[in-house]
Amino acid sequence: MPMRFNRALGALGAAVAVVAIAAAPASAQNTQGISDKTIKIGNLGPFTGESSIFTPLNFGPEAYLRSINAQGGVHGRTFETVFADDACNEAKGIAAAKKLIYEDKVFMIMGHPCSGVAMAIKPMLDKEGVPWMGLAANPKLTRPTVPSMFSSYTGIESGSAMAAFALTKPGVKKIAIVQHSNDWAAGYCNPATDYIKANGAEVVISTAMERGSTDATAQALQIKQSGAQAVMGCLYQQELVILLRDMAKYGVDAIVLGALGADFNQTVQQVGNPAAVKQKFFQPYQFQAKIGTGPLKPYRELFLKYLTKDELPKSGEPTNFYYFGVPVGIVTVEAFKRAGPAPTREKWIEAVESLKGFETNVFADTANFSKDNHVGFRRMFAVGLNDAGEETVYSTWGKPLPPSGS
């Protein structure tokens, strides 16, 4: 009996050793990007090309990480960012993500506004278990839930908000849809369509306007002929500007709800015609106050302090996209705080899933994640120009939010 016992014990010990050896690579992988002093983060986005207008979405969270580094970091570690350019191109995005994961060996990827690229790298992220805290709007990225991928707002929340605001305007029952023929646009306009139909209104026309379009005459005339009182414009900024100009040119009397593929202030400036946008053009508004005021004021100072001249606007104030990006950094940092002094990918993911009613002091909604819900924010307002041409945040049609402290 003692000999058999000793043999069994020896076999058990050998088995334990084999398991430990087999588990070692997985453990190393799960702490990839973590050293005694640093946490390596991949910041992936369109830093070149026509979609580089979205890069403030990447600079917002980076400004926050730099501010945390200035305070000593988290649990003794500071953040080291590796920037990678995807140019909003799927092939470039796949190559950039591979470099971040396999060569730069980042812990996670954050920022990342381009839905097409995000969908292209999703299988790689899922296979490798690389955490992703993103701003891309395609609902398919996080619905159904992918263990390592988390979103702020998606097209479902934004598209529903677009339609909901339009229907609070008295008499609005006929809606037109103008959208790009891609998953990003469908991610906004499909939920908007569902909301419209579920609330007693009608989609009277649905028409395409492709990327690179330089004229919206056909779409404007179709909208006018349809009698639509509101338009869901699931378009990127360049094409949205053209649609607004041509609707004004042809006297189309309908409000336009734009998606979050455009910066509100830049769109208004580029349209260049107050009559085309004042009380005509609105967007979902994801913030709890007017940009640069009240609880958002400290973030303006944060951008100016921690971003370089090249990362800030060439002129004027930091715009919508800077603020839109920063909660990704806030949630990322909070998860590292909760993950403790020995973070792993599993601990970080569990920490994000533990966030309930977490206040960013930026978004209109608090962060609420769970194991079965990786979309953290839902509540939104709307932004437009009032009768005096002043940027105004509305809860519903004609009802501005109370002003925050300046």
Residues 75 and 8 grouped into a single domain: no
What is the predicted pLDDT for the residue at 49? 93
Distance CA 300, CA 378 (A): 24
Distance CA 205, CA 207 (A): 6
Q: Is residue 271 part of a domain?
A: yes
Domain count along the chain: 3
Q: Is residue 236 part of a domain?
A: yes
In tens, the pLDDT along 298-347 reads 999 999 999 999 999 999 999 999 999 999 999 999 999 999 999 999 99
Spans of the chain, pLDDT less than 50: 1-28, 405-406
Locate 328 and state its tokens.
Answer: 């990704």
Q: Is residue 96 part of a domain?
A: yes
Q: What CATH code is carried by the domain that includes residue 316?
A: 3.40.50.2300
What is the predicted pLDDT for the residue at 18? 40
Report how far apart, in Å, the C-alpha atoms of 300 and of each of 54, 73, 218, 311, 362 are: 18, 21, 41, 13, 11
Q: Give the SS3 label for residue 172.
A: coil
Residue matched to tokens 């006018």: 224
Q: Is residue 373 part of a domain?
A: no
C-alpha dihedral sign at 195, 57, 266, 264: positive
Residues 211 and 107 grouped into a single domain: no
Q: Which of 323, 394, 351 is nearest to 74 (CA)?
A: 351
Q: Is residue 375 part of a domain?
A: no
Residues 107 and 54 grouped into a single domain: yes
Residues 228 and 106 grouped into a single domain: no
Residues 247 and 179 grouped into a single domain: yes
DSSP characters over 114-130? -HHHHHHHHHHHHHHT-
Distance CA 112, CA 103 (A): 19
Q: Is residue 405 part of a domain?
A: no
What is the predicted pLDDT for the residue at 17? 42
Distance CA 353, CA 369 (A): 5
What is the predicted pLDDT for the residue at 9? 39
Residues 171 and 280 grouped into a single domain: yes
Q: Is residue 374 part of a domain?
A: no
Residues 273 and 395 grouped into a single domain: yes
What is the predicted pLDDT for the residue at 6? 43
What is the predicted pLDDT for the residue at 14? 42
Backbone angles phi, psi at 154, to 5 degrees: -120, 180
Give the structural domain span for 363.
Answer: 38-153+293-368
Q: Is residue 32 part of a domain?
A: no
